[in-house]
Structure 1
């Protein structure tokens, strides 16, 4: 299949690697010095947990071309997506998948369709990988072969869409998980990650300093975020998520978070992103705050305590510059 990856950060790079491994004709859109590195040396990824290095040679472009693509994956930070929506409306592909945190999914879907001369299916996805980009390579953290949760805004994918996606990843162990309401899924994911973001920033992006009390406060804050979404009428996705925060399963969740916080996994999965994506995380927090305004009296004491403990956004820009 002929596939375009629009965005060559950590997540887009691993997605490119998997699609190349599946034998697809992959084009990667990248800009600046990173584009030059990719053109000269190819895409080099160090897979941290697997302790291996891979090198791929996708076709690299610096701007959208007139080629036809069977699939387009757009992998950019949330606040950067708006700037490329007109491009996506003009891309020659019947299926466009927006990958990553997205609190404006409905607006983006409408914009792309309004710009498109031909009918386009706009899908939404989230890939469970982390890491950082270095000068000459990407460092990727993933469990197993990783995968993507993907679906429509408020609907299950069609058989044609599922078949196209399965074909793209055929022959790999990359997992595709179908979701029938990605709008709700994104909101639930944000309720999970924002307390971790707050804690990371409060600890100067060093989760190894997190105490037992702070980690437990984080888990309670996640519960509060989910309960707010339930009160607003959103389903909690994936299913059985809330059960993992109480009783025995809650204890396991605490243990997992503690292990992540005290090892390099926490750095690659959480704090590296906090350092490199201040603008994205501020935009996502503002979007979640808008949800809270619909229920201003809903109690979230643990959430608020974590938020109060972190520096303000201006200070974070001064510290990390992004």
Structure 2
């Protein structure tokens, strides 16, 4: 298959790595220094847990032209950046697009692509589990033994699922399909946002934050408030275990948070290396809009936004 990975950051590079190993002809879209790195040295990834470095030769482009047709396009970006690439995606004559990453407005993105493309667009949404950071000349990728992709449509079965499955054959990626990715994506950012407020409370000093039991309890209560907002608006919290952890397994979740904050990898996952400041801001605004629609108060969530150690 001819596959384009639109976005050459940590997750886009790791996805391209899996697709290359699956035997596909992979092209990456990149700009600036990253474009030069890919052209000169290939895609260099240091796999953090696996203690190995891989180098993949990929095709590289700096822009997507309407006539550049691919069997499948994966768009892997931060949520605030998606809007800037939608016009180029819509104008392009490729038919199958998967938008990967945190996302508060998948319906709007799909509708835009379908309404503004010269060809019938089939659009799915995904989330690639992993994290990492950039270093000069390479990406540091934090992931498990297998890559994990959560993927699906927006309330409908993906009739073209076989094409996605084909892309991941021999890639060492595990795919988990959900029928309604809008519910999954909203549930996900409502869970991770309160956790990412922990770093702000202590100016990034998570070793100090782990000692603040009041802060960690506010985080758990804020996740529950977010779940309640979704439920009032008619969404199903997905996966259902997200509700169970905050309502029935609270002590285990609390201990899990403390353990996460106490490890180098956990601290990476809760830093701006995993979710950037502008993405947190955009997703926070999206939650504010949901809360307004639900006409609900969220005192724990509001407290987290302005939390400081002096308020303990």
For the aligned pair, the TM-score class normalised by the smaller chain equals over 0.9
Query: 1:153·1:183 contact (CA, 8 Å) conserved in 2?
Result: yes
Contact 1:199 1:310 in 2 (8 A): no
Equivalent residues in 2 for 1:152-301, closer than 5 Å: 152-158=153-159, 161-210=160-209, 211=211, 212-247=213-248, 249-273=249-273, 277-296=276-295, 298-301=296-299
For the residue of structure 1 that corresponds to 2:293, the secondary structure is: coil
Partner residue, 1:303? 301
Matched, 1:47 2:59: no
Q: Which whole-Å CA distance do the structure 2 matches of 1:56 and 1:205 have between them?
A: 34
**CA contact 2:4–2:28 (8 Å) conserved in 1:** yes
Cα shift readout 1:16-42 (whole Å, capped 9, x = no counterpart):
111111111000000001110111111
Q: C-alpha distance in 2, partners of 1:226/1:143?
A: 27
The 8 Å contact of residues 8 and 29 in structure 1, kept in 2 or not, is answered as yes
1:223 CA drift (Å): 1.2
Q: What's the CA shift string for 1:37-84, capped at 9, x where partnerless?
A: 111111111111222211111111111143321110001111111111
Partner of 1:317: none
Match of 2:139 in 1: 138
Partner of 1:126: 127
Alpha-carbon deviation of 1:146? 2.5
Secondary structure, aligned partner of 1:131 = strand
Equivalent position of 1:81 in the other structure: 82
Contact 1:132 1:272 in 2 (8 A): no
C-alpha contact (below 8 Å) 1:156/1:178 kept by paired residues: no
**Mean alpha-carbon deviation: is it higher for 61-70 or for 14-23?**
61-70
The alpha carbon displacement at 1:268 in A equals 2.5
| Equivalent position SS for 2:182 | helix
Question: Deviation string for 1:209-257 (max 9, x for gaps)?
Answer: 222332232122111111111111110101322112234x433333332
Residues 77 and 100 of structure 1 are in contact (CA less than 8 Å); yes or no, is this contact kept in structure 2?
A: yes
Unaligned stretches of 5+ residues in structure 1: 312-322
User: For each residue in 1:141-183, what CA deviation from the matched residue of structure 2 results, as whole angstroms up to 9, or x when unmatched?
Assistant: 112212111111222222xx22111111101331111111111
2: CA distance between counterparts of 1:72 and 1:100? 14
Provide the secondary structure at the position in 1 that maps to 2:294.
coil
Say whether residues 1:69 and 2:70 are aligned partners: yes
Structure 2: tracts of 5 or more residues without a match: none
Offset of 1:310 from its aligned partner?
6.0
Alignment CA distance shift 1:200-1:156 (3 Å): farther
Secondary structure at 1:172 match in 2 = coil
Contact 1:47/1:53, CA 8 A, preserved across alignment: yes
Number of positions where the alignment pairs a residue of Structure 1 with one of Structure 2? 306
Distance between the aligned counterparts of 2:257 and 2:57, measured in 1? 36
How far is the alpha carbon of 1:203 from its aligned partner? Answer: 1.7
